[in-house]
Amino acid sequence: MRNPQLDSNGGLRHLLTLDGLPREILTAILDTAAPLTEVAEREVKKLPVLRGKSVFNLFFENSTRTRTTFEIAAKRLSADVVNLNVSTSSTAKGESLLDTVDNLCAMQADMFVVRHAASGAPFLIAQHLIANGRNDIHVVNAGDGRHAHPTQGLLDMYTIRHFKGDFTRLVVAIVGDVLHSRVARSQIAALKTLGVPEIRVIGPKTLLPSGLEAWGVRVFHDMDAGLKDVDVIMMLRLQNERMNGALLPTPQEFYKVWGLTAEKLARARPDAIVMHPGPMNRGVEIDSAVADGAQAVILNQVTFGIAVRMAVMSMLAA
Amino acid sequence: MKIQISNGRVIDPAHGVDAVQNLYIAAGRVVALGQAPDGFEPQRVLDASGLVVCPGLVDLAARLREPGFEYRATLESEMDAAMAGGVTSLAIPPDTDPALDEPGLVEMLCHRAKQLNRAHVYPIGSLTIGLKGERLSEMAQLAEAGCFAFSQANVPIVDNAVLLRAMQYAATFGFRVWLQPLAPFLSRGGCAHDGEVAARLGLTGIPVEAETVALFTHLRLARSTGARLHVTRLSSAEGLALIEQARAEGMDVTCDVSINHLHLCDQDIGYFDPNCHLVPPLRAASDRDALRAALADGRINALCSDHTPVDDDGKLAPFGESEAGATGLELLLPLALKWGEDAGLDLATTLSRVTSDAARLIGITKAGHLAPGARADICVFDPAARRRITRDQLRSQGKNTPFLGHELPGRVRYTLVEGQIMYEG
Amino acid sequence: MQLPDADTLLETLIAQMRPHVTSKTALVGIRTGGVWLAERLHAALGLDGPIGSVDVSFYRDDLGARGLPPNPQRTDIPFDVEDAHIVIVDDVLYTGRTVRAALNELFDYGRPACVELAVLVDRGGRELPIAARYCAHTLPQPLPASQTLELSRDETGALSLRLIDA
């Protein structure tokens, strides 16, 4: 069955996941993002690409941060942006997800940027739109449950390409709570598609899903072994809620064993870059010294994130 | 009414019959095979040339959704589905609303089913009041009202001490205990098998230990209490191994598998298809293959539909939030035939898994076979026909099946219950 | 048809522009052909100051119909557009929509004092009121829509005009 995010010509009509996204499309998004990074430096930080189009931010799960970057990206493309914090609106009153979507379609939406707590929700929306013949409306997944965060994965790939160039020579390590991380899943999918020869995950068994090795990832529990000669370190945010689920004893212990300190960083290659999707828990997964250090490219990720989202929205709606 | 079914390939697995011959029905019973009884004047003759004539199918699990869940399905719609599927006897799990924990409720259900005069129903009583796993239900009275076994459906008992007492009490009377091996805390919050597919799709996984740990508990408790245990809807190779081990140690334990787990695995979830959201979850391809082989050689005793109709709204939700379950009464025969074809089995063996073997598990003696004197519950089907499963064809109110669009063999032409033609295809 | 020689046309263009350029003149080439031309003009006219290059991909008016062009390049305006005397340079002038897009993009950087247009070839078929002040060659007959006229550059840097049939 064809991935619903691709149309019958194999072109991109929704961005739902990086898993199964063809390499050519992935690369095209990164290529399109490149010239967009300079828009922020202009006086009029706008391109007319989405002028007259309405982008609805449909956030069923709260996130000021992600919502803001999407809003900035959409506005830089001259789109009209409507923010819907559905947690406070009709869905809380029991309206089904698809009913909410139908209502918004009736308000002339051109694009939905969707964040939802349930894995697969954006697929449901996209399939519903396709079934109703609404091929003019595009869905961008801004994060669904534990499944995917494609724009984050893309901006991470852009960042790696910017600093490291050739993916086919890299060793990349993802550290932390992979089990609950949609970011990690999108990163792994993209890294694989782009031909990264060695992808590692590092963390305690309780935070690594079974099935990772079958997916082609090397599993490490020891930071020293896992970070040895690594070119790119992608840290994941440890969510405090996890501490109560009998998954980890304390943040202190996590920091002691898997926190990225300067000492552990030294195991990696001297020119290794340190990334983090944010927001960071300083002193839990990462040391302040490292986060603010020369090898960290975390702020670059944020800048690139806007350009990447602009690229995605341009490619979809144009 | 006297009916003659002519020239059909009569297959009666219970008695090793597989031959083209006539079958004669009178007063709701099979009266003869082959030779007509003296002076037999049929009021109706069914031409079964090129067709198979077998016992009406016996389904070990069919949720008819009454009482309580009429928005999902009703007795009428589901009985129609049963007739269209050639299913003439079916066992009803106790997870209705309210649960089947009161004799009066069971009587009413049986009465209502009898009034509809379609398939025979064999209710399974709730092991504990309200399925809550705290207090024992009145098993003796429920048995009197018609329950042939007791179960918790998909609601496992959390307190093993209660489970022990429930099995002891059931064993007091020699009642059958049908249990789904599903450890409550290991399966909590999960919606898919904990493997590569769940990892990639970010779905909360249910590890295979949820089945094996629970199964081990059930087997040990059954052994010590002497309860007659039947394991429902096996889903894993490891679970199967535990059952084989128990049998090797001398225990008499039976088990079944659903049509869904016989044909599908977690890969079929694809792009979050909620029709594949099932309990227990679809496991790995290797599990599916192990189950297929075990049903073929009889280590798994019977095949059932696990018919669980869900209304469309229940499936129009993100995978983890959708309601689990698939419709299946009308797919029991086609999917049995498909499996038999793939496994290279003779038709009699294939059909036994959904007729005589299933009947034995319920304790039905008068049906599930075609010897003279048997209840004339008969299915006549065209083994060569193939049809594509579509929503419109399904008579069940539940259109939710992962097999939509699949082309499957077998088309029911006649379904008879107690010698009356209830369905003509 | 016989295409004119690009280098010859370039000489014509240089001769047309020389009397009118000043030290303030800023060239902005439209990618990619216009940028190559702008580089040659810049050298030949002895201009100081950097050359701007504009990629109009995100400003096209036909995005809805044709989608985003693949591989858009950076727009680089390394000088202050405010009050500048700009000459937009492109290889072929056709409908005028590309120039309009370039104008729109330029004006998002600031308000120039004046903007002029220099093209190597005018192939006719204008759909907007756009005219080139400097134009080395106008085709006697407009080309049909099925044909594309563009500048190409080989490894040695030599420029030539190409006609492509769709």
At A142 the three-state DSSP class reads strand
Beta bridge partners of C85: C25, C114
Chain A hits for C59, CB-CB cut-off 8 Å, are 47-48
Res C160 pLDDT > 80: yes
CB-count burial class (<10 Å; 0-12, 13-18, 19+) for C8: exposed
CB within 8 Å: B320 and A119: yes
Name C165's Cβ contacts closer than 8 Å, sequence gap at least 6.
C146, C147, C148
Chain A hits for B316, CB-CB cut-off 8 Å, are 96, 98, 124, 128
Q: What percent of chain B has pLDDT over 70?
A: 100
pTM of the model: 0.90
pLDDT at A251: 87
Tell me the C-alpha distance between B64 and B79, whole Å. Answer: 8
Instruction: Give the number of other CB atoms < 10 A from CB of residue C60.
Output: 22
- Could you give the number of structural domains in chain C? 1
Q: What's the mean pLDDT in C77-106? A: 95
Q: What's the mean pLDDT in B377-392? A: 96
Tell me the C-alpha distance between A63 and C47, whole Å. Answer: 52
Looking at the complex, does the CB of residue A211 fall below 8 Å from at least one CB of chain B?
A: yes
Tell me the C-alpha distance between B355 and B89, whole Å. Answer: 9
Tell me the C-alpha distance between B404 and B401, whole Å. Answer: 6
Residue C31 within any structural domain of the chain:
yes
Supply the angle between the helices A298-317 and A150-164 in degrees, to the nearest 10.
120
Which residue from C64, C76, C110 is facing A318, i.e. has the nearest CB? C64
Which residue from A42, A46, A315 is facing C68, i.e. has the nearest CB? A315
CB within 8 Å: A211 and B313: no
- B98's tokens: 């309210």
CB within 8 Å: C67 and A28: no
Q: What percent of chain B has pLDDT over 90?
A: 96
Name C91's Cβ contacts closer than 8 Å, sequence gap at least 6.
C33, C34, C36, C37, C119, C120, C121, C150, C151, C161
d(CA A308, nearest CA chain C) in Å? 13
d(CA A209, nearest CA chain B) in Å? 6
CB within 8 Å: B196 and A214: yes
Q: How confident is the model at residue A61 (pLDDT cuts 50, 70, 90)?
A: confident
The CATH number of residue C81's host domain is 3.40.50.2020
Tell me the pLDDT tens digit for each residue of B77-111.
999 999 999 999 999 999 999 999 999 999 999 99
Residue C146 within any structural domain of the chain:
no
Which residue from B195, B271, B321 is facing A4, i.e. has the nearest CB? B271
Q: Which of A52-61, A79-88, B111-120 has the lowest mean pLDDT?
A: A79-88
Q: What's the mean pLDDT in A144-169? A: 97
CA-closest candidate to residue B150, choices B139, B164, B158, B135: B139
In which domain, by residue range, is C59 found?
8-16+23-65+73-141
Are the beta carbons of B78 and B62 closer than 8 angstroms? yes
Tell me the C-alpha distance between A116 and A59, whole Å. Answer: 6
Residue C156 within any structural domain of the chain:
no
At C42 the three-state DSSP class reads helix
Residue C102 within any structural domain of the chain:
yes
Q: Do chains B and C touch (3 or more CB pairs under 8 A)?
A: no
Q: Which of A43-52, B237-246, B253-262, B372-381 has the lowest mean pLDDT?
A: A43-52
Residues of B recognised as catalytic? 306
Chain B hits for A1, CB-CB cut-off 8 Å, are 270-271
CB within 8 Å: B207 and A210: yes
Chain C hits for A31, CB-CB cut-off 8 Å, are 70-72
For C49-118, give the DSSP string: SPPEEE--GGG-TTHHHH-PPSSPPPPB--S--TT-EEEEEEEEESSSHHHHHHHHHHHTT---SEEEEE
pLDDT at A89: 57
Looking at the complex, does the CB of residue A243 fall below 8 Å from at least one CB of chain C?
A: no
Beta-strand relationship, C25-30 and B52-55: unpaired
CA angle B415, B416, B418 (to 5 degrees): 155
Q: How confident is the model at residue B61 (pLDDT cuts 50, 70, 90)?
A: very high
CB within 8 Å: B199 and A116: no
- C58's tokens: 């995100």
Which phi and psi (to 5°) does residue B59 adopt?
A: -105, 120
Residue C29 within any structural domain of the chain:
yes
Res B263 pLDDT > 70: yes
CA-closest candidate to residue C149, choices C9, C33, C66: C33
Which residue from C59, C71, C76 is facing A48, i.e. has the nearest CB? C59
CB within 8 Å: B197 and A211: yes
Residue C150 within any structural domain of the chain:
no
Are the beta carbons of B235 and B262 closer than 8 angstroms? no
- Of the residues B196, B206, B209, B273, the best mutation for testing chain A's interface (the one with the most A CB atoms within 10 Å of its CB) is B196
pLDDT at B314: 92
Which residue from A124, A146, A210 is facing B195, i.e. has the nearest CB? A210
Q: What's the mean pLDDT in B234-242? A: 98
Question: Which strands make up the sheet holding C134-138, listed edge to edge?
Answer: C52-54, C25-30, C85-93, C114-122, C134-138
Q: What's the mean pLDDT in A218-233? A: 97
Nearest CA in chain A to B320: A118
Res A90 pLDDT > 70: no
Are the beta carbons of B281 and B236 closer than 8 angstroms? no
Q: How confident is the model at residue A244 (pLDDT cuts 50, 70, 90)?
A: low
Residue C160 within any structural domain of the chain:
no
Q: What's the mean pLDDT in B240-246? A: 98
DSSP at A12 = B
Tell me the C-alpha distance between A276 and A302, whole Å. Answer: 10
CB within 8 Å: A124 and B318: yes
Chain B hits for A185, CB-CB cut-off 8 Å, are 199-200, 202
Tell me the pLDDT tens digit for each residue of C107-156.
989 999 999 999 999 999 999 999 999 999 999 999 999 999 999 999 99
